[in-house]
Structure 1
Amino acid sequence: MITSKQRSALRAMANDMQPIFQLGKGGITENFIKQVDEALEARELIKITILRNSDSDARSACDELCAALGAEPVQSIGNKFVLYRASTKNPVIEL
């Protein structure tokens, strides 16, 4: 569990990030979860966009991915959300 100050620092880091994944009508599949898992291990902080044709909204998709991956939700605004999980092999972000 991260504190509100840590979440604020992570929001500031994610502010100028570009989304690296798009979630569309296919929804959250096992392959999508695996790709996000690998990206979290490599980057620790990622931003994901929900496309208009998707059946889920940003908040529910964020909650589902966090539960599946053990990640922390950082921010969910509009059709984008940010996830954080500390890397087990090579932690970069100091909280």
Structure 2
Amino acid sequence: MSLTPTQKKQFRSIGHKLNPIITIAGNGLSENILLEADRALEDHELIKVKFAVGDRTIKKQLIQEMSQIVEAVIVQEIGNVALLYRAAQKPNPKLSNLLR
């Protein structure tokens, strides 16, 4: 799934106000982190993930790997933070960052 430039711009403006929900550090992508990311994407659709790993190339690999596993689109990467989007099957207006 790809996003149009207009959608990306809209999602970036929404994501600017969000705080990171998940922090990934030295242990990398564990099963629990991936399950939490999957749950967060289903609830919120648009989430920020912080990558607290030192190396830039490892960070890029982790972002790519995580987005593929949870089937999300990378909207933006700035510094140690990635903004991920995946449409929910049944969006909850009280939880979704896009519908609030």
Matched with 2:22 is: 21
CA distance in 1, matches of 2:82, 2:9: 14
Matched with 1:43 is: 44
Q: CA RMSD in A?
A: 1.9
Identity of aligned residues (%): 30
CA distance in 2, matches of 1:54, 1:48: 16
Residues 24 and 53 of structure 2 are in contact (CA less than 8 Å); yes or no, is this contact kept in structure 1? no
Q: TM-score, normalised by structure 1?
A: 0.87
Aligned residue pairs total 93
- TM-fit CA distance, 1:65: 1.1
CA distance in 1, matches of 2:20, 2:55: 16
- TM-fit CA distance, 1:60: 2.0
CA distance in 2, matches of 1:34, 1:87: 15
Structure 1 unaligned segments of length 5 or more: list them.
none
Amino acid at match of 1:84: Y
Amino acid at match of 1:23: I
- The 3 A distance-change label for structure 1 pair 10 and 52 is same
Q: TM-score, normalised by structure 2?
A: 0.83
Matched with 2:91 is: 90
- The 3 A distance-change label for structure 1 pair 54 and 48 is farther
